[in-house]
Every structure is written in structure tokens, then in C-alpha cells.
């Protein structure tokens, strides 16, 4: 009997727990609906107010222009009538209007003499207009087209940098400041996920996609487990918001999130990888970079260069959603029946480099590791005077070494005197421990 009583209590407890979870899910759903309606109403109200203002301005301009044209036309008419009357007095019965124009002169009666004549633009002027239009489309922190050309002014990377590949580009000047084998083939590992979120963000424009739901599959979880990938911790069958897939791809470098995001965007992994390579071609990188997966798993045909990764990061920080995700230190996923409190994830690169950076600030970053690439990282930082820089390194012997290499490169550029003192003091201590479970 005691066993039956215990089973009954357990069953009742489980039933109450399921009811509580159901109520919690319903509450969260209603809250999201209210937030979506509020955003929709705000957008509609803002659009209506903007349209009203534009209509009022257009009416005022129309009235002003009409008055000006009528006044100008009246003045011209009066002038012509005066000339006609004067010539009529002097003529011998011929039509005096013929004498108003010189012989052979063609007159366009529809031409507005107040409008300046159009002149043909030079190639330099056309190119400048195109540059201005491209700059106007830039909504983030980067430049329309990042320059990765090494010239006579480019320095070797700061002394003491362990990474075999490195590049530092000044966004403000759009030129390579320092480099080391920056155009040599390397394997990007999880830095690949910067391209993953960029391609997804560009194909999923609009906030409505962020609230859409993707159901995690057993196939994704099995593939991630078999390949030893780092994960967010989603479960097969779990219904996940697309926004959580974006953050899960970058902060904990989750392969489960990246693959889910790819399938939601393109329908399957192969189609999404094709989109990634199309983006490489659009960025002018198809001859030196090629991707075979959205996660960063090693494949001899999955390669890039430090310079190309800098270009990809520049494109990412030009996208508002990617900029927001790449600069997030911590994030909690939406509560589900599998994870009622959500899952707290962190960008450990950003959280740890901020304690080491004595000058300037690193705003965005993504690390990676496979044994063929060792530790690599790409980041976006700003000096204390507000100038922007993109740094990419690869083949560092340790996760903390990759962090210290970025600190050294940034400090060497931001404050050379401080960096020389740091080298002289030799006070850089190598911490132990993994940065994250990169694949």
C-alpha cells in the first residue's frame, strides 16, 4: 500500500508540475504576443506620424514652388508684352513677334529658363557618388570595403606574439597596420561562425524572424556529439527561438545552435554552405577562402586567411544584428519546458580579454580551435581616441596565448610606450585552463 500511495503522490506531483510548466509557457507566449503587438503599434504610429510630416512638408514646398513659378512667369509675360507693344509701334504691319528672336535660333518653349543646364559627370565624380552611396548603406561600425593590402608602411606584428598568422587593420585609416603571414592559407575553426551568423542575418531580415521557433533535431545533436563540438545544451525536440540560435552560435560557440540556424535559414546544411560561399564571392574572397560547413570542423577544403577573416568580421560589424550578438558578453536563452530558467551563455573571449586590456577596449570577438589550426581569434576593438581596428590571429599554442596575442597587438598600436614597459617587465603570466570547448 505504501508503494501505491507513493506512486500516486508522485503522479499527482508530476501532474501539478506539468500544469505549472504549461501555465508558465502560456504566460511567456502571451507576454511575447503583447511585446510583438506593442512593437507593431509603435512602428505603425511612427510610420503614420512620419507620413503626416512628409505630406505637410510636401504641401508647403508645392505651394512655395507654385508661387515662385507663377511670379516668374508673370514677370516674363509682362516683359514680352512690353517688347511686343514697342515693336508694334515701330513695325510696318509685319508681325512684330518675329523680331523677338534672331534668325535660325531654335527655342524650346517648354524649357524652364530658371533651371541650370545639366552637365555630364566625370568618372571621378561618378565614383565619388558610388562611394557616398555605399557609405550611406553602412549601418554598423565597419567600412564599406576593407583594405587588406600590405604596403611599405605595414609593420611586422608586435614582438612576443606567438600566433603564426596575424593582421591588424585600422578601420579609421582603412589600411593594414601590422601583419604576419596574413595572406597565407589557414584553417578558421569556429571563427567560421562569424560567417554563419552574417549569412543568416542577411537572409532573415526583419524582427519577426527572431521570434520564430526552430525545433532541435536528434540528427543535429548526434552529429555535434560525434564530432566533439561545443554546444549550447539544447535538447532534441526542444522548441527554440531563432534569436537564441544566433546568440548560441557565437557566445558559447554552439554547434547545435549554428546547425539549427543554418537549417532554419536555408532548409538544409548543404544549401546554407552554398550561401556562405556565395557571400565569400560577394566579398571578393572566393579565390583564397572556401567553406564546407557552418560550424568550423576541419576539412582541407575549409580554409581562409587572416586577412580574409578580417574582411568577414568587417562585414559582420556592419550588420546591426551581428554587431549586437558579437559584442554581447552574456545572454540567457528563452525559457522552455526543457530549460525553465533558460540557459546562461557567455563569450569568454570578451569577458577575459577586458581584464587584460590596459588601453583601448575590445568590443567584439570570436575564437576557434581545431588541432590543425590551433587557437585562433578575430576581434574588433577601439583605441581610447575612438579609432576602430580589426585583429585576426591564428595558430597560437593555447587559448590564453591567443588572448594575450590580441592584447599585445592592440597595446603595441594603442600605446607603444606602455607595451615596451610591459615587455621589459615581462609580467605576462600564462593562465591555464580552456577558454571554451571549441571543436
Please write the tens of the pLDDT for every residue from 272-291: 999 999 999 999 999 999 99
Which of the listed residues 59, 85, 103 is the one where a domain comes to its end? 103
Whether 120 has a pLDDT exceeding 70, the answer reads no
- The whole domain housing 55 covers 1-103
Which domain CATH number covers 253?
A: 3.40.710.10
Can you state the angle between helices 242-250 and 192-203, rounded to 10 degrees?
Answer: 160
Higher pLDDT, 418 or 46: 418
Do 231 and 347 fall within a single domain? yes
For 73, 297, 310, the CA distances from 100, given in Å and listed in that order, are 17, 83, 68
Please say whether the beta carbons of 254 and 231 come within 8 A: yes
Cα 355 to Cα 365: distance, rounded to the nearest angstrom:
15
pLDDT band at 103 (very low <50, low <70, confident <90, very high): very low
Please check whether residue 383 lies inside any domain of the structure. Answer: yes
pLDDT at residue number 429? 41
Do 97 and 168 fall within a single domain? no
CA-based nearest residue to 393, from 385, 383, 401:
401
Please say whether the beta carbons of 245 and 259 come within 8 A: no
Q: What are phi and psi of 290, to 5 degrees?
A: -160, 140
* Alpha-carbon torsion angle 79, 80, 85, 88, nearest 10: 150
Cell triple for 252: 558559447
| Average pLDDT value for residue range 336-348 | 96
Do 290 and 177 fall within a single domain? yes
Please check whether residue 125 lies inside any domain of the structure. Answer: no
Do 4 and 82 fall within a single domain? yes
Please check whether residue 120 lies inside any domain of the structure. Answer: no
Do 167 and 273 fall within a single domain? yes
Do 161 and 301 fall within a single domain? yes
pLDDT band at 102 (very low <50, low <70, confident <90, very high): very low
Please check whether residue 115 lies inside any domain of the structure. Answer: no
Please check whether residue 36 lies inside any domain of the structure. Answer: yes
Whether 169 has a pLDDT exceeding 80, the answer reads yes
pLDDT at residue number 358? 85
| Average pLDDT value for residue range 391-408 | 95
pLDDT band at 5 (very low <50, low <70, confident <90, very high): very low
Please identify which residue in the block is written with the cell numbers 569577458.
Answer: 351
pLDDT at residue number 257? 98
Please identify which residue in the block is written with the cell numbers 560550424.
Answer: 295
Whether 239 has a pLDDT exceeding 90, the answer reads yes
Please check whether residue 137 lies inside any domain of the structure. Answer: no
Please check whether residue 136 lies inside any domain of the structure. Answer: no
Higher pLDDT, 339 or 429: 339
Higher pLDDT, 72 or 145: 145
Do 172 and 79 fall within a single domain? no
pLDDT 10s digits, 306-320: 999 999 999 999 999
Long-range contacts of 340-348 (CB under 8 A, 24+ apart): 340/21, 340/24, 343/232, 343/233, 343/234, 343/248, 345/232, 345/247, 345/248, 345/251, 345/252, 345/254, 346/251, 346/252, 347/250, 347/251, 348/435, 348/436
Higher pLDDT, 394 or 120: 394
Whether 94 has a pLDDT exceeding 60, the answer reads no
Do 84 and 16 fall within a single domain? yes
pLDDT at residue number 53? 72
pLDDT at residue number 76? 61
Whether 348 has a pLDDT exceeding 60, the answer reads yes
**Helical ranges in 269-305 per DSSP H:** 269-282
Q: pTM of the prediction? A: 0.68
Which of the listed residues 86, 103, 120 is the one where a domain comes to its end? 103
Do 195 and 52 fall within a single domain? no
CA-based torsion, 80, 85, 90, 92: positive or negative:
positive
Structural domain count, the chain: 2
Beta bridge partners of 390: 169, 380
Beta bridge partners of 155: 178
Please check whether residue 118 lies inside any domain of the structure. Answer: no
Do 214 and 73 fall within a single domain? no
Do 84 and 172 fall within a single domain? no
Cα 155 to Cα 170: distance, rounded to the nearest angstrom:
13
Which of the listed residues 69, 85, 103 is the one where a domain comes to its end? 103
Cell triple for 368: 576557434
**How many residues would you count in the chain?**
439
Do 95 and 164 fall within a single domain? no
| Average pLDDT value for residue range 347-372 | 93
Amino acid at each position: 500500500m505504501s508503494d501505491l500511495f507513493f506512486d500516486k503522490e508522485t503522479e499527482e506531483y508530476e501532474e501539478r508540475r506539468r500544469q505549472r510548466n504549461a501555465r508558465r509557457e502560456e504566460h511567456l507566449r502571451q507576454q511575447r504576443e503583447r511585446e510583438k503587438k506593442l512593437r507593431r503599434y509603435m512602428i505603425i504610429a511612427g510610420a503614420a506620424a512620419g507620413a503626416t510630416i512628409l505630406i505637410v512638408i510636401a504641401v508647403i514646398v508645392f505651394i512655395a514652388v507654385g508661387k515662385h513659378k507663377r511670379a516668374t512667369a508673370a514677370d516674363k509675360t509682362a516683359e514680352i508684352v512690353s517688347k511686343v507693344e514697342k515693336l508694334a509701334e515701330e513695325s510696318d504691319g509685319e508681325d512684330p513677334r518675329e523680331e523677338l528672336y534672331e534668325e535660325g535660333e531654335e527655342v524650346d518653349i517648354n524649357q524652364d529658363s530658371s533651371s541650370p543646364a545639366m552637365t555630364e559627370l566625370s568618372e571621378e565624380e561618378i565614383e565619388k557618388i558610388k562611394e557616398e552611396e555605399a557609405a550611406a548603406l553602412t549601418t554598423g561600425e565597419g567600412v564599406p570595403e576593407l583594405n587588406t593590402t600590405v604596403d611599405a608602411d605595414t609593420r611586422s606584428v608586435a614582438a612576443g606574439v606567438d600566433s603564426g598568422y596575424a593582421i591588424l587593420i585600422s578601420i579609421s585609416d582603412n589600411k593594414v597596420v601590422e601583419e604576419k603571414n596574413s595572406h597565407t592559407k589557414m584553417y578558421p575553426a569556429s571563427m567560421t561562425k562569424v560567417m554563419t551568423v552574417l549569412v543568416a542575418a542577411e537572409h532573415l531580415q526583419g524582427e519577426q524572424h527572431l521570434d520564430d521557433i526552430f525545433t532541435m533535431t536528434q540528427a543535429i545533436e548526434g552529429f555535434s556529439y560525434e564530432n566533439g563540438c561545443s554546444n549550447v545544451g539544447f535538447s532534441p525536440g526542444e522548441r527554440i527561438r531563432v534569436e537564441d540560435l544566433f546568440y548560441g552560435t557565437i557566445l558559447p560557440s554552439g554547434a547545435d545552435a549554428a546547425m539549427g540556424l543554418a537549417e532554419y535559414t536555408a532548409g538544409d546544411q548543404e544549401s546554407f554552405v552554398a550561401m556562405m560561399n556565395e557571400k565569400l564571392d560577394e566579398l571578393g574572397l572566393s579565390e583564397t577562402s572556401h567553406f564546407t560547413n557552418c560550424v568550423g570542423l576541419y576539412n582541407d577544403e575549409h580554409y581562409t586567411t587572416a586577412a580574409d577573416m578580417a574582411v568577414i568580421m568587417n562585414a559582420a560589424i556592419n550588420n546591426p544584428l551581428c554587431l549586437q550578438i558579437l559584442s554581447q558578453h552574456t545572454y540567457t536563452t528563452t525559457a522552455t519546458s526543457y530549460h525553465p530558467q533558460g540557459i546562461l551563455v557567455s563569450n569568454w573571449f570578451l569577458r577575459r580579454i577586458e581584464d587584460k586590456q590596459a588601453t583601448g577596449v575590445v568590443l567584439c570577438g570570436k575564437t576557434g580551435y581545431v588541432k590543425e589550426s590551433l587557437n585562433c581569434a578575430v576581434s574588433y576593438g577601439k583605441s581610447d581616441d575612438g579609432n576602430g581596428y580589426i585583429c585576426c590571429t591564428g595558430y597560437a599554442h593555447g587559448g590564453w596565448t591567443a588572448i594575450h596575442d590580441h592584447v599585445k597587438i592592440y597595446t603595441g598600436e594603442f600605446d607603444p610606450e606602455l607595451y615596451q614597459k610591459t615587455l621589459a617587465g615581462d609580467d605576462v603570466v600564462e593562465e591555464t585552463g580552456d577558454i571554451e570547448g571549441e571543436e
